């Protein structure tokens, strides 16, 4: 852990992580495998979600890590920022002014690389995913999860609506309290979509809806992951058939 604070929130963090894993898996499934759930009719006036705070979608793990290291070790910084946990090219957990931010990164699975040609472009230093190689050797930012103390869902929704407008999709659980609101902030005028999605999760507490987590996802990298996912199983099938048939 790197930072100026001496607090040790590991236990509470692990508990929060366990509580949120079901939501995270569901949101990743929606983003990667069920675009019809997320892709409501596009309002051309909707602003594009091109990243989160200082980080743009497609920025590398190393570039974002260096940014936070510089902020956390700057004696003149007025922010309380800590790097809590990290796994190279996969995730970076930051605690910033009492709120947890989980930066998620994606790189092409090794098996998929076997069927992709590599272009001789040199090191991947451009934070933009446009014009890059057919596969990513370094992890690139595709999602950020924000976790905080329970807040009434309507208060969170009001703030999100002021920034993004009305959600494109809403779901309600069987308990009539839990569910999710989804904002589609995507510009589809180019061949590759720009922008992303914001997902506000609701859970029941004393029979009322509360929110403790919001997830943000890149639209462009969602499509990249969906394509890799399809290729991954195609390659697995081909390799299995090759091994079965002498």
Helices 219-244 and 10-33: angle between axes, nearest 10 degrees: 80
User: Which SS3 state, helix, strand or coil, does residue 170 take?
Assistant: strand
State in Å, rounded, how far the first CA of the chain is from the last one: 52
Across residues 97-102, what is the average pLDDT? 96
106-144 per-position pLDDT tens digit: 988 777 766 665 555 455 444 444 444 455 778 999 999
Residues found in the chain: 246
Across residues 154-180, what is the average pLDDT? 92
Across residues 164-192, what is the average pLDDT? 89
Across residues 184-211, what is the average pLDDT? 89
What is the value of pTM for the model shown? Answer: 0.72
User: Which SS3 state, helix, strand or coil, does residue 95 take?
Assistant: strand
Which pLDDT does position 239 carry in this prediction? 61
14-56 per-position pLDDT tens digit: 434 444 444 444 554 544 444 433 333 334 334 678 889 889 9
Strand boundaries in the chain, DSSP class E: 2-3, 51-52, 55-56, 81-87, 91-96, 99-106, 140-152, 169-172, 179-187, 194-205, 208-218
Across residues 215-239, what is the average pLDDT? 77
Which pLDDT does position 202 carry in this prediction? 96
Which pLDDT does position 223 carry in this prediction? 81
Per-chain mean pLDDT for the chain: 76
- Vertex 136, ends 133 and 137: CA angle to 5°? 115
């Amino acid at each position: 852990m790197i930072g100026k604070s001496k607090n040790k929130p590991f236990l509470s963090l692990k508990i929060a992580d366990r509580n949120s894993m079901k939501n995270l898996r569901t949101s990743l499934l929606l983003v990667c495998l069920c675009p019809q759930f997320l892709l409501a009719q596009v309002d051309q006036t909707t602003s594009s979600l091109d990243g989160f705070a200082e980080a743009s979608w497609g920025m590398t793990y190393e570039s974002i890590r260096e940014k936070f290291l510089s902020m956390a070790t700057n004696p003149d910084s007025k922010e309380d920022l800590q790097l809590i946990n990290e796994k190279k090219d996969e995730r970076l957990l930051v605690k910033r002014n009492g709120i947890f931010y989980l930066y998620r990164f994606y790189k092409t699975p090794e098996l998929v690389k076997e069927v992709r040609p590599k272009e001789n472009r040199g090191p991947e230093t451009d934070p933009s995913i446009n014009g890059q190689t057919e596969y990513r050797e370094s992890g690139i930012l595709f999602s950020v999860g924000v976790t905080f103390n329970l807040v009434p869902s309507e208060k969170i929704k009001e703030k999100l609506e002021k920034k993004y407008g009305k959600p494109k999709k809403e779901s309600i659980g069987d308990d009539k309290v839990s569910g999710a609101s989804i904002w589609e902030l995507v510009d589809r005028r180019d061949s590759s979509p720009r922008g992303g999605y914001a997902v506000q999760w609701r859970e029941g507490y004393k029979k009322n809806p509360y929110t403790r987590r919001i997830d943000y996802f890149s639209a462009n990298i969602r499509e990249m992951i969906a394509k890799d996912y399809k290729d991954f199983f195609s390659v697995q099938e081909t390799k299995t058939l090759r091994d079965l048939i002498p």
